[in-house]
Each structure stands twice: as structure tokens, then as C-alpha cells.
Structure 1
Amino acid sequence: MDKLKIHHIAIICSSYERSKHFYTTILGFQMINETYREERRSYKLDLSMGNHTRIELFSFPEPPRRQSYPEATGLRHLAFQVNNIEEWVTYLESKNIKVEEIRIDPLTEKRFTFFSDPDDLPIELYEA
């Protein structure tokens, strides 16, 4: 049996244009395919980062807000590996994105920090 691999992460956003800008222009994901589904009044945007990370960004009319607490059941956060965490923090802050203080993971001794997407989905930067 083949080993499982993550194929994609699906995100429902409240503002399609704002989230599209955030994931493409700010984070640098490449657009693979953009589809408007009339019957659902919904966009589906396929994004990629190299050959490893794929995000499906969805919009729906008036989606309910998801309650997000750090220790709640469900998806806790997305994590992206970076080579230079300070560069990313400086870059994100230049785009007026609030970034938490850089911390050290006590188990791996690697540096990490968090920021949020336009819908407050927590995103982690984890230094290689």
C-alpha cells in the first residue's frame, strides 16, 4: 500500500478577493486554476507553492464564522517551513501583518512564530 501524503489544504474565506491577495501576493502561492461555480455562487482557487504545498481557497455567500481557540478540537494551524524567520517577520510586518514574537520550540529547539490570515486562521512559520 502507498504511503499517504497530504494532497491539499482547503480553506473557506469570508472575502475571496482579500484572501486571494493574501495567499498569492503576500505569501507567494502560485495560481493553478481559478473557477467560478455559478450554482454555488462560489469561487474555487487552486494554489501551489513549489511541488509540495497545495491550497484550495473557497468562497461561499455568507459562510458562518468558525470559532478558533488555541486548544480547541480541529485544525489548530497551518505551518510553513522557512529558512530565515527574521526575513519573513520583517516582510510580513512591512505588509501590516501582526506577527507574534519569535519563540523556540522546547522539543526541537527550532524557532517559530505565528500570524493570521485575513479570517484569523493561525499560520505558523517554522525555521528549518
Structure 2
Amino acid sequence: MKIKKIHHVAIICSDYEKSKNFYVNILGCDIVQETYRAERKSYKLDLMVGGEYQLELFSFPESPNRLSYPEAKGLRHLAFEVEDINQAVKDLEKENIPVEPIRVDELTGKRFTFFCDPDDLPLEIYEK
């Protein structure tokens, strides 16, 4: 088997409307399809990032909280590429989203930083 690419990343949120607003209006993801599954009392929102990778945003009643700090085993964070990290940080801070100080990747020399989504899922922006 040889994997060709990442198809999608699935995220479970606690407040569907708040997370939908965050990923669509703040991060700029495009909506592909929105589905409400009455039998599960669950929304599924398919989002495109830069026309290439897809995020799936789910809401499920009474989902347990994710353990992050100290970091638990499993997915560490989700990283997004941006053209201008300074502008991206300004845009996030304008929305009152706390952003860590910008760092430089010692292996690539590229700049990056971290922030969180409405459910404290760690997200990274990495300058192209």
C-alpha cells in the first residue's frame, strides 16, 4: 500500500455554531456540504481548506473533553500554511484569539506559531 495524500481531518466540537463560525468566518474555510443527522442529533460540516484538503466538523451530544495539557498520546495539532504569518496573527488577534509568540523552525528556518480553536484544539499556522 502507498498512501497518496491526506483525504480529510475530522474534528468533534462542543458548540457547533461557534465552531462553524470559527472555521468558516475566521479561518476562511469554504463550506462544501452541511448535513444534520436527526437520528444522531449531529451536524456534519464538510469544509475545504485552500481548495485541496477537507476538514469534517462534527457535533455529537455529550462528547467527552479532549485531554491536551499535559499532552496526551495521539494527534498533537493541526497545522495550516499561510503566506504571511504576521498578517495571520493580526487577523486572529483582531478576533480576540490568543496566539503564542512566533517561533522559527530550527530545521527549516520557517516561522510558525500556535493558537486554539473554540474547543482548545491546538492549531498551528506555518509560513510558506
TM range (shorter): over 0.9
TM-score of the aligned structures, taking structure 2 as reference length: 0.95
Alpha carbons 1:70, 1:76 under 8 Å: kept = no
Q: State the alpha-carbon separation in 1 of the partners of residues 70 and 27 from structure 2.
A: 23
Distance 1:43 1:105, change over 3 A: same
Q: Which amino acid aligns with 2:24?
A: T
Structure 1 unaligned spans of 5+: none
- Deviation beyond 2 Å, 4+ runs, structure 1: 1-4, 69-72
Write out per-residue CA displacement over residues 28-62 of structure 1, whole angstroms, 9 at most, x where no aligned residue: 00111101001000000000023322100000111
Task: State the Cα deviation string for residues 81-118 of structure 1 (Å, max 9, x = none).
Answer: 11100000001000000000000111111100000000
Size of the alignment, in residue pairs? 128
Native 8 Å contact 1:36 1:44 kept in 2: yes
SS in structure 1 at match of 2:119: coil
**CA distance, structure 1, for counterparts of residue 71 and residue 38 of structure 2:** 37
Alignment root-mean-square deviation, CA: 1.2
Name the SS for the 1:98 alignment partner. coil
Q: Is the contact made by 1:77 and 1:123 (CA closer than 8 Å) also made in structure 2? A: yes
Q: Between 44-53 and 19-28, report the one with greater CA deviation.
A: 44-53
Matched-pair identity in %: 64
What is aligned with 1:95?
95
Name the structure 1 match of 2:38.
38
Q: What TM-score does the superposition give when structure 1 sets the normalisation length?
A: 0.95
Q: Which residue of 2 aligns with 1:20?
A: 20
Match of 2:58 in 1: 58
Deviation at 1:4, TM superposition (A): 2.4
> 1:57 and 1:72 mapped to 2: Cα distance?
21
Structure 2 spans left out of the alignment, 5+ residues: none
| Whole-angstrom distance in 2 between the partners of 1:70 and 1:25 | 30
